[in-house]
Amino acid sequence: MKKSFLGLVLVSFLVTGCSPIFYTPNTQNVPMISSKGDNKITVAGNGNQVELQGAYGLTDAFAIQANAGLFIPRNLDNGDGGSGNFFEVGGGYFKSIKEVFVFEAYGILGMGSMENHFKSTVEDNPGTNGDISSTIFRVGVQPSFGYKSKYFEAAISTRIVSLIYSNIEGDLIYSGNNQMDYLNDNKTNFLVEPAITLRGGFEKIKLQVQYGYSLNLTNTAFKQDKSYLTLGLSFKL
C-alpha cells in the first residue's frame, strides 16, 4: 500500500508497505509542442495518484506548461497512510525537426505539501502521534526528444532536479529511528529521472502510457520509490 505526496514542480512523498518512503516520481509532462498555438491537455495517474497537465506554444519556439496532482491512496488496514498535493509550472524552448521529430527543453519549478501517519507506531512510542509532514520544493530542467505523427507519438525525456524539503514537522518514530531527523539530514537531493512516453489513438485524443525511473545521485539509499508507470488520456484542443 502506498501513501504519497508530490511537490510543486513535481515532487512527492509516499508511504509504501509498512515503512516510510519520502519521494515518488510523478508523470513527466512531455507535450511535444511543435508550433505556435499547439497545445496538449493530459489526465494521467495510477491507483495512488491522479494528475492534470497542460502545455501551450506561445511562439514558434517558446512554450509553457503547468502540472497539478493529488495523492490519495487507501490506508493500510491498520490505519497507516498519507496524502499530498502538488503544483508545478515550466517554460522552455521547442523545435520541430523535419516535421516528424520534436526537441523540447523546459525549466520547471514546483512545490507541494505532504503528510504521513503511522498510527501503528504510537503504542511502542508513547507520547508521539506517529505523524510527519513537510513542504517540498523541486527545481530543474527537463529535455526531451521524440517522434510525432497524426496518430502516434513516442518520446524519451530526462528530468534533472533538485528536491528540497522544508517545514518538516511531526514526531514519527519508526523502527527506533526519528524520521524527522532522517528527513532533516536529507533535506536536499539531486535526482536524474529518465522516462519513455508513448501515445496512440486519434488526432485529437490519444491513450498515453509513461514509464519512468528515478536515480538519486545524492544518496542512493534515500527512502524513495525508484520507478513508476502511469496511464492517461491526452487531448489536443
The answer to whether 236 and 201 have CB atoms below 8 angstroms apart is no
Return d(Cα 63, Cα 21) in angstroms, integer.
34
Per-residue pLDDT at 189 exceeds 50: yes
Candidates 14, 8, 10, 6; CA nearest to 30 is 10
Return d(Cα 58, Cα 205) in angstroms, integer.
21
What total number of domains does the chain contain? 1
Return d(Cα 38, Cα 98) in angstroms, integer.
17
CATH of the domain at 116: 2.40.160.20
Candidates 234, 160, 225, 155; CA nearest to 196 is 155
- How many C-beta neighbours within 10 Å does residue 209 have? 14
Strand order from edge to edge, sheet including 2-6? 2-6, 12-16, 19-21
Q: For cell 513542504, name the residue.
A: 135
pLDDT at site 72: 81
The answer to whether 147 and 136 have CB atoms below 8 angstroms apart is no
Return d(Cα 83, Cα 92) in angstroms, integer.
31
Residue with the bigger pLDDT between 177 and 19: it is 177
Return d(Cα 70, Cα 83) in angstroms, integer.
8
Q: What average pLDDT does range 12-39 have in this prediction?
A: 81
Per-residue pLDDT at 201 exceeds 60: yes
Using CA atoms of 38, 195, 145, 207 in order, give the dihedral in degrees to the nearest 10. Answer: -40
Number of H helices, E strands in the chain: 1, 16
Residue with the bigger pLDDT between 74 and 180: it is 180
Candidates 82, 142, 91; CA nearest to 113 is 82
Lowest mean pLDDT among 34-48, 55-69, 77-91, 97-111: 77-91
Amino acid sitting at position 234? S
pLDDT at site 18: 64
Residue 75: pLDDT band (50, 70, 90) is: confident
> pLDDT tens for residues 111-165?
998 888 898 999 889 999 999 999 999 999 999 999 999 999 999 999 999 999 9
Candidates 73, 85, 99, 100; CA nearest to 17 is 73
pTM: 0.89
Over the chain, what is the mean pLDDT?
90
Residue ranges making up the domain that contains 39 = 2-235
